[in-house]
Structures are given as structure tokens and as C-alpha cells.
Amino acid sequence: MTSVGIDAVEIHTGKLRLDLAETFAPEMGDAPEKYTKGLGLHASSFPDTYEDIVTMGANAAHRLMKRKGLEPDDVGRIDVATESAFDHSKPVSTYIGGCLEQVFDGDFHHANKGERKFACVSGTQSIDDAYNWIKAGRNRGRAALVIATDTALYARDDPGEATQGAGAVAMLIDEDPNLVELSTEQGYGSADETDFLKPQQQFPSVDGKRSVNVYLARMREALIDYERVGGKIHADDFRLGPFHTPFPGMVRKAAVLAYRHTTRDTEIEEELAEEIGRQPRSEAFDSDEAYLEALSEYTDALKETERYQAWYGRTIDPTLTLSRHVGNWYTGSVHVARVSGLKALAEAGEDAVGERLLVGSYGSGAQAEIHVETVQEDWREEIEAIDIDERLESRYELTFEEYEDVHDAHNFDEESAVEEFTVPEAEFAFDGWGRMGERKYRYVE
Ligand code: HMG
């Protein structure tokens, strides 16, 4: 069977930076630790005035194609995942294809283009589409370009404002991939939920506290569903667990539940029994409430054990490093977590070939998806080629007043004449409006 997976990745970050502890917290009247410790975030990436989902996606895709020596003829599919689209009909992939045609010889007329929507999980769904297309033999030897791009902005003074971000991840899905092979097995947890939505509006309506519980419930369902097809998961089977990361504190909550689930009935539960007892079983309780209370006490104790903390430090923490400095990128978030984790392994000089990743994607509304990835021979070269550290380092540091202005500049309902903060160079930039109300773009040398 042909192996199919992610061959290469490029990341584009919004070019502005908002420091949450130093700049945002004081204006909100919050302690800086709410951000750095509670949510686990230091900064948000923000788009400059000439950046949007198209420029960020096109810039990431351009670098990816250049680095891999690809021409438009090598790409048979361009799928964009976003929840920040500005057009109900014309997909963002057509705009991005148009941008790429400005800089490559040839065109993408032969390529199937689309746009996927299901909140943050649609980046992973687009990878699925590409995987199925290749496995079905419809690709004619071509690869698929999957681009997850979002400006994850919330209305001013919404609690979600603390978790904003903007950026794009471009991924090349191909046969015999260099980075990770995808499992055929998948698990789903999907339900009609009203926790985060954008009914004909730019900024989301969010029930923040509820969204946290919905995330946990759907992830749990997806894990159990995965086990139906992939067999029982053991916590130590995986080198990394990249999860959708709206903010690292969310993953901290999910990770302990995943650990509890995947150590149940294993030697780890037995080894921990002396210290914190065995996991409560529902049969032993008269009521659901008593059972849930005992479960919650066990989970609190589990979190404090050295065994759990060592697992968390090795499997989960490395996946959160980039997210701490960029915030939520919605569709791109879990794909940033994968790169973050693999980057940490590369920096530590680990030989990760053959290691497995347990990848947990999630989108509000709501759906979770779990699958497994296997690290491939040339993973290190692919990860080391990503220059995200330099890009994060060179972001323009916003004052609070500038942040207010640029937030307005990205608000379709506000008039704004804010000047750009940085100068576009060797990248795509927004170039005004066309005669039918379309957004136009040009490559700035
Ligand atoms: P909030 O109510 O302002 O914050 O908003 P909080 O009071 O809950 O504090 C946050 C954490 O900081 C808490 O930690 C506090 O204890 C801690 P926890 O108890 O939960 O572990 N804290 C402190 N820690 C140390 N020192 C201090 C301090 N002060 C407080 N001094 C909320 C939080 C998540 C509700 C908000 O940010 C929000 O609405 N965010 C947007 C929704 C969201 O991200 N939900 C996550 C799950 S849904 C999802 O992931 C999907 C999504 O990506 C969208 C999509 O799929 O398209 C959002």
C-alpha cells in the first residue's frame, strides 16, 4: 500500500505582535499571570493592514513550493481551510491560486480547488480529502496543497480577545511523504453544539466556558471511537500528542483526561495505586454525582504525580511552545502544534524516525478527530527548513493604542485609515478592491 502523509510544511505568522502580559493585561486590569500561567499565552500574532487570509496562505504556499522545487503542474489540488472567509461563493483557494500564478511559470487550471468549513477542524478535514484523493488514485502523480489560514480575532472586550492570533500553515500532502505518514484509522466525536459560531457575522459569538467542556467531551468521544478501529491506546505508545491549541491551558485540561483514559487498566494505574489509589469505577458508586466527584478527585491527584508530570513534559509540553507566542490560529492551530513538537525533538537531536504522534484536532460546533502519524526518514530536514523562529522574532511590537487601531482595521464594520506598521517585502500584499467587490493582491518584490 502506498504511504500517504505530510511531505513538508511552511508557516507564515501575522507580522505584528501583541504582548499579552506587558501590553494587554494592564489595560484589561488583569494580572499578567492570567495569560502566562492560566491561559499559557505570552503573545498574539496579528496581521498587518495589508495582510489577510489570502496573503498569509499564499506566502506560506509560495515558500513551500519554492523550497520543494515545485511548479504548478506538480500540484493537482489546492484546498483551503478557514473560518475567516470573506466571500460566500468564490473560495479562498482561487485567490491563492491567482497569487501563486503571479510568481510561478504556468497555471493551476488543472487543479481542483475548494474551501473547507468546520471551525478549527477543517484543516485536518482538508488533509483527509487530499489523503482520500491520493489513495483513490485520482491524483495522477500530483501532490495536494492544503492551506489552513485564519485571522482569529474576537470582538473587543470578549473574553476570547485574550486568545487571538493570525497565521497560515501550508502543507504538501503526497505519496511517500518526508515528514509523517497518516494512519487510515480515525476516530470521531461529533455533535450539534452551540458554543462558538459566526452566524453572518465577522467575530464569533462564544460561550467560552461551555466551549471548554464541549472540547473535552468531543475529544473523549473521538478517542474512544479511535480505539474501536485502532485498538486500545496506551499513554506511552506516543512520542508526542499535538492537540488543537486555542490556548495551552486548554490542552493542559485535555491532556490529564487523556492520560487518565489511556492508563486505565494498565500497569501505570497499578504503579500509581499506592500513591493515589486506583481509578474510580462507576459500578462502585450509588449515584453519577458521587462517581464524578471521585473521578475529579482522582484526576486532581493524578495531575500532581511525578509520573504524569514527566509524561506531560515529554509528550505534550513541546507541542505548545509555538502556540504560546502566536495565540489561536483556528484551522492552523493543531498543525502548528505538530511542528512545535517535532521542532523540539530536532533541537534535542533525537532520532524520531518511526515514532508515533497521537493527533487530536477539534472544531467548535462541534467535532473532534483523532488519528495517528508516523515520523518518516527525512523529517528532520523538513522541520529544520522552517524558519518560524526568525519570523516570530522579526514581528513588529504593538503598543496598546496601535493594537486598538489595527483591530479596527480588520473589522469590516469600522472605517479605518490606519497606516501599515511594516513594509511588505518579497511577499503578497492586499492591493485594493476590484470592480466586482473582489479583493486584489500583488507580489511585492
Ligand atoms: P476568562 O473567563 O477571561 O478567563 O476566559 P478565566 O478567568 O477562566 O482564566 C483563565 C485561566 O487563567 C483559568 O485557569 C484561571 O484560573 C487562570 P483554569 O482555572 O481554567 O485552569 N488565572 C490565573 N492563573 C494564574 N494567576 C492568575 C490568574 N488569573 C486567572 N493571576 C476563556 C477564558 C477560555 C473562556 C476565554 O479565553 C474564551 O472565551 N476563549 C475563546 C473560546 C475558547 O478558546 N475555547 C476553547 C475551547 S473551544 C475551541 O478550542 C475552538 C476554537 O478554537 C474555535 C473553533 O473551533 O473554531 C475556539
pLDDT of residue 417: 86
pLDDT of residue 340: 98
In angstroms, the CA 167 to CA 147 distance is 11
Q: Is 153 in the pocket of ligand 1 (CB under 6 A)?
A: no
Measured from the Cα of 158, ligand 1's closest atom is 39
pLDDT of residue 72: 98
Catalytically active residues are: 83, 120, 244
Per-block average pLDDT, block size 10, for the chain (445 residues)? 94 98 98 98 98 98 98 98 96 98 98 98 98 97 98 96 98 98 98 96 96 98 98 96 98 98 97 97 95 97 98 98 98 98 98 98 98 98 98 98 95 87 97 94 97
Question: Atom 20 in ligand 1: which residue has the minimum CA distance?
Answer: 38
Q: Is 303 in the pocket of ligand 1 (CB under 6 A)?
A: no
pLDDT of residue 416: 80
User: Nine-digit cell at 145?
Assistant: 496543497
In angstroms, the CA 80 to CA 148 distance is 6
Q: Is the pTM of this model over 0.95?
A: yes
Is 110 strand, coil or helix? coil
The preferred substitution site among 120, 158, 163, 164 for testing ligand 1, maximizing ligand atoms within 8 Å of CB, is 163
User: Nine-digit cell at 178?
Assistant: 518526508
Q: Is residue 365 within 8 Å of 118, Cβ to Cβ?
A: yes
Measured from the Cα of 207, ligand 1's closest atom is 39
DSSP code of 74? G
Terminal alpha carbon distance of the chain: 44
